[in-house]
Amino acid sequence: MAKRCVIAAFPPSMKVLCDMRQITDLSQLAQWQAEFACSTQPLAFVPTMGNLHAGHLALLAEAQALNPRPRTLVSIFVNPLQFNDAADLARYPRTLDDDLAQLRHAGTDAVFVPPVDALLPARDGGVRIDPGALAQGWEGAARAGHFTGMATIVAKLFHLIRPQFALFGEKDIQQLIIVQSMVRDLNFPVNILAVPTQRARDGLALSSRNRFLSDTERALAPQIYAQLTASAEAIIRGEAADLVLHRARAQLTSAGFIVDYFSLCDAAQLQPMPHFSGDAILLVAAQLGAVRLIDNLRISP
């Protein structure tokens, strides 16, 4: 036990000497936790579904930049509970070797890659977290059960990993706000840190789903962010929000998108905001070919 504590007390610069720990089941996770039981170094957790890109790595970098520098654990788990479409789940990109190489290169301390059975022993029924009203609209309306599945697995991961910090991207703003509310309402002892959306140079929000865009669709996709920024400017200038939103929807539609929503909502309850007042978020979901793209932009007066 004493030797294990010495390992935990190494300064961060010595971490390069240690390889990333790959954890694939709950007993290995418990073992890793036990090795650090007497360390005061905090633990920062980044939950992902893999197929990692610079957006995910920004979450990790933000964790590593905390002072004092925490241990970092990234989970890779394609959560079946948050998919309401079996075909979407089946085709979700799984690139474990490449993900591990990226995480190792980025200096991650540990990666947790549990099999589905480890996190979902009760396939049918079982206890679920109901995220409440925040999960009713937007992505919740489009993907039945999505946020219940997400919150249930995030809650399990928090219990198993017991991090002091957990990092989530603003790219999935409704998810972030639901997790913040779950942590507050259920008194989870974890600090949720939000990381700004990472974008390609042309503005497209990085996403694992972008790989499914054809070249033509990829060239069109940045119009989503262009409409977000143009709409934000118009609303802040004082144009009526409903007219601005209508124009943005029409322009995306004529460019070839099937717009699910392009709306303004308040940043606390995610309720539609007919007239711009106070902290707000522009939310968009639009289908381009077979790919559903989501994005958002916060605006304040």
Q: Determine which one of 56, 105, 159, 246 is catalytic.
A: 56
User: Of these, 36, 45, 165, 168, which contacts ligand AMP (CB under 6 A)?
Assistant: 168
Q: Within positions 31 to 60, which residues make up the interface with ligand AMP, using CB under 6 A?
A: 48-49, 55-56, 58-59
Q: Please give the biggest Cα pair distance in the chain.
A: 67
Least CB distance to ligand AMP at residue 275 (A): 29
Q: Which is nearer to ligand AMP, 109 or 295 (CB)?
A: 295
Backbone angles phi, psi at 273, to 5 degrees: -115, 100
Say whether 56 is catalytic. yes
Between 164 and 180, name the residue whose CB sits nearer to ligand AMP.
180
Minimum separation from the CB atom of position 46 to ligand AMP (A): 7
Taking a C-beta distance cutoff of 8 angstroms, is the pair 222, 204 a contact?
yes
CA distance 175 to 260: 18
- Token pair for 2: 């004493």
If one asks whether residue 147 binds ligand AMP (CB under 6 A), the answer comes out as no
Give the contact letters, 171-210, x = binds to ligand AMP (CB under 6 A), - = no.
xx----------------------x-xx------xxxx--
Q: How far apart are CB 189 and ligand AMP at their closest, in Å?
A: 20
Q: What does the binding site for ligand AMP look like in residue numbers (CB under 6 A)?
A: 48-49, 55-56, 58-59, 168-169, 171-172, 195, 197-198, 205-208
Residues assigned a catalytic role: 56
